[in-house]
Structure 1
Amino acid sequence: MRNESGGAAERPRARLIPERIKEAREGRGFTLDTFAEALGVTRQAVAQYENGQIAPSGDVLGRIISETAQPLSFFTSVPARAGELRAPFWRSLKRMEQHHRRRIARRLQWAADICALVERFVELPSVDFPVIAFDPDVADEEDIERAAEATRDHWGLGRGPIRDLAALLERKGAIIVREPVACEAMDAVSCWIYARPFVLLSEEVISGPRDIYNLAHELGHVILHATVDLNSDNLDRIEKQANRFASAFLLPRESFSNEVLGSSLGYFETLKRRWGVSIAAMAYRCKDLDIFTDNQFSYLFKQMNWKRIRKVEPLDDAFPVNTPSVLADSMRMLVEHGVYTREQIEGSLALNLADVESLCGVPRGYLDNRVVRLQLKREFGPESIA
């Protein structure tokens, strides 16, 4: 291309976007202080990079890229976003350090960026979540019970045990991510992003019953608190509401109550095998529904303490954890059907491919275009060896 004077036209130069430095830092869990230490600069310098007052030198930019493990394109482009995500609902806000909250919130945003790319080519399930009038400031337990029942009715679930809640929510339009979070204080987090619910589950949770309760708790937030702004004044109240919703959704009061025919630990193991919910959660449900007296409730937990099964219960490993599939299947469709190459995915998202793989739930290296993929010739496939 030539300009009007006949000379070669200058190409527009890439511009470093200050806000993306902050996003990359937070996405890796750095505080201003720890990032400054890693870069060998002052805290004030990092703050100035992030607000655009000064630009990092070439050497410092190289260290930023190295420490955040993001490509240069991450810092020179911003994905088209419909707006900022609403504040996520943290299950343990008071115990979570701020840098963990910011890191996981960024990962939710990156999951939404991936979803936006996927939706250009793949018909994802439509969002089909019930809209239930609920005022968290005045609602009582009966309102929450009715909301849980209305959710089951909306989806035609009846009143029996629920299996594979992740698959159910994905069919109804939710995007679920399961990955390591490296934060003991967080089991799950959720928020609405661009009119679609997103949930991130901790891969460190290996108990199926605990995992399904975490997901049902987040479903409670999605259903009851879609328009609520989380703050220190309402945190305890909305967490209790989400817990009550989870219990009511997983253990409907009428059908579950009819099956509580004893209060021994052995009998509750039998109930756990049927309902897939932890003994502790069922005990609290019995207390909430006045099935148990205070003495019965205390006695069951004394038995659990005596047998040292409060943290790891019997049958915890009898139920699989929730395994999301929508993002993984979508990414495989794009690549394996030749709709979008690995190079195009990397270029469009401007994200470290390891992050994309983790958030989608595909094997490590699946999107790495430097990996040489080999396969047996057709005549030497598995069937020829059998």
Structure 2
Amino acid sequence: MKTGDQFAGDQLRLARLAHGFTLEELGLKVGMTRQYLHQLETGVKLGTSANVELLADVLGVTTYFFYQSAKLPVQPEQCHFRKQATTPVSITSQVLARGTLLDQLVERLDSALKLPPVNFPQHAIETAEDIEFAAEECRKHWNLGLSGPITNMMRVVENAGAIVGYFDGISERVDALSMDRRRPLIIRSEAKPAACRLRFDLAHECGHLVMHRGVHTGCRETEGQAHRFAGAFLLPRSAFAREFPRSRNLDWSAIFALKARWKVSARAIIRRAYDLGLITADKYRTGNIHLNKTGQSKVETLDDEIVAEQPELLDTIFRTLERGGSIALREIANGAGISDGMFEVLVGRRLPFAPIAETGNVVRLFSGIN
């Protein structure tokens, strides 16, 4: 990465947006006017050494951060938001800023360690049949078969090379999202979501990464496509059609047995049955009414019994480096201009206090387990 002697105002803006600060809010924290900060961000003025140190301290970056050449930020078409049309611009900007900085950190981690190779196949889709085919081909591509449940959806996306994280203070205001970068990023919508919802969200974002590269998403059409992919990936049509109970009325006992086996919500199960023509539109509508009337619109039966899957890749990376891997975690973060405060904002944990000596070895983290 090239660096220069001149203060880079766009780096200041990136760090400010990652924290969700307005110019006024940042000004109050550092004792500078909104106008002066705006001039710094637009390059009209250059920061003094004292001001740069103060800004770095408040924003949780190193002073070096402000003198880095700007890297390509995450673009809107690379970020697949759910409910994008109703997401406030301030939240969108904050997510894009954090995604850009997390991407830069991950790029340095990628250079230091042997992470799982990125392995998301690409499929062009136009029809529902195209989506079914894409989901089935992905299961084959990852050697998951078509006859049974996915054991661990988190490991599927992590073994395919994605980094799964959570942006505290933002994620709960948007649904799960993904960023199509050199190493894909998937951001969970909640720190501790229900297991079935998390699995469906991961499969949904997987659908975006497989079907929507370079496509602006967030509209009804693209979200519907990703939903269809998630259902098809988690509940392959042949196996699901064999197991779905056929009766005059919906057999809820059997449906919840399916939920326990496949770890997919009852609402998603009846939607899948409708998509495959196993139940009529009237029966599908009746099923949704039943779930709402029985207080299962958000929390369903068995949600407290199915254990949520946890991200493993980032924790493995951090544990390896903190034990004395090839390069100390703090050195890697600081190399990206990220210090304690920003590191915690991006990954939800603190940097170790002291750097660990380099060993010069390369550490392989990929287990290849689905």
TM-score tier after normalising by the smaller chain length: 0.7 to 0.9
* C-alpha separation in 2, matches of 1:280 and 1:330: 36
Secondary structure at 1:176 match in 2? strand
Secondary structure at 1:120 match in 2? helix
- From 22, 27, 50, give the equivalent of 2:18: 27
Secondary structure at 2:132 match in 1? helix
**1:107–1:13 distance in 2 versus 1, CA, 3 Å:** closer
* C-alpha separation in 2, matches of 1:316 and 1:181: 24
Secondary structure at 1:104 match in 2? helix
In the alignment of these two chains, the number of paired residues is: 348
Match of 1:64 in 2: 55
Conserved 8 A contact 1:353-1:368 = no
Match of 2:119 in 1: 128
Residue segments in structure 1 that go unaligned for 5+ positions in a row: 1-11, 371-386
1:294 aligns with 2:277: no
Match of 2:297 in 1: 310
- For the pair shown, which has the larger CA radius of gyration, 1 or 2? 1
After superposition, residues 234-253 of structure 1 pair within 5 angstroms as: 235-253=219-237
* C-alpha separation in 2, matches of 1:149 and 1:239: 19
**1:289–1:75 distance in 2 versus 1, CA, 3 Å:** same
* C-alpha separation in 1, matches of 2:142 and 2:334: 39
**1:13–1:143 distance in 2 versus 1, CA, 3 Å:** closer
Conserved 8 A contact 2:177-2:186 = yes
Secondary structure at 2:316 match in 1? helix
1:326, CA displacement in angstroms? 1.9
> What CA deviation, in whole Å up to 9, does each residue of 1:46-85 have, x standing for no partner?
3322110123567765653454233333223357x4x343
1:207 aligns with 2:198: no
After TM superposition, the score normalised by the length of structure 1 is 0.81
Decide which moves more: 269-278 or 180-189: 180-189
Q: Residue type matched to 1:314 in 2?
A: T
**1:197–1:47 distance in 2 versus 1, CA, 3 Å:** same
After superposition, residues 68-79 of structure 1 pair within 5 angstroms as: 68-78=59-69
Match of 1:54 in 2: 45
Query: Following superposition, which runs of at least 4 residues in structure 1 exceed 6 angstroms of deviation?
Result: none
Match of 1:118 in 2: 109
Match of 2:94 in 1: 103
* C-alpha separation in 2, matches of 1:322 and 1:108: 22
Q: Which structure's relative contact order is higher, taking Cα pairs within 8 Å and 6+ residues apart?
A: 2
Match of 2:366 in 1: none
Match of 2:152 in 1: 164
Decide which moves more: 147-156 or 336-345: 336-345
Q: Residue type matched to 2:176 in 1?
A: A
After TM superposition, the score normalised by the length of structure 2 is 0.84
**1:304–1:235 distance in 2 versus 1, CA, 3 Å:** closer
1:277, CA displacement in angstroms? 0.8
**1:211–1:342 distance in 2 versus 1, CA, 3 Å:** closer
Match of 2:267 in 1: 280
After superposition, residues 223-242 of structure 1 pair within 5 angstroms as: 223-230=210-217, 235-242=219-226
Secondary structure at 2:154 match in 1? helix
Secondary structure at 1:199 match in 2? strand
Match of 1:187 in 2: 175
Conserved 8 A contact 1:174-1:197 = yes
**1:198–1:184 distance in 2 versus 1, CA, 3 Å:** closer
Match of 1:85 in 2: 74
Match of 1:369 in 2: 354
Secondary structure at 2:179 match in 1? strand
* C-alpha separation in 1, matches of 2:273 and 2:242: 11
Match of 1:143 in 2: 130
Q: Residue type matched to 2:164 in 1?
A: I
1:179, CA displacement in angstroms? 4.2
- Across the aligned residues of Structure 1 and Structure 2, the Cα RMSD in angstroms comes to 2.8
* C-alpha separation in 2, matches of 1:302 and 1:236: 22
Residue segments in structure 2 that go unaligned for 5+ positions in a row: 356-370
Match of 2:360 in 1: none
- From 178, 181, 184, give the equivalent of 1:197: 184
Conserved 8 A contact 1:178-1:324 = no
Q: Residue type matched to 2:201 in 1?
A: N
Identical-residue share of aligned pairs (%): 29
Conserved 8 A contact 2:23-2:37 = yes
Q: Residue type matched to 2:111 in 1?
A: R
Match of 1:350 in 2: 337
Conserved 8 A contact 2:19-2:345 = no
Conserved 8 A contact 2:176-2:187 = yes
1:93, CA displacement in angstroms? 0.7
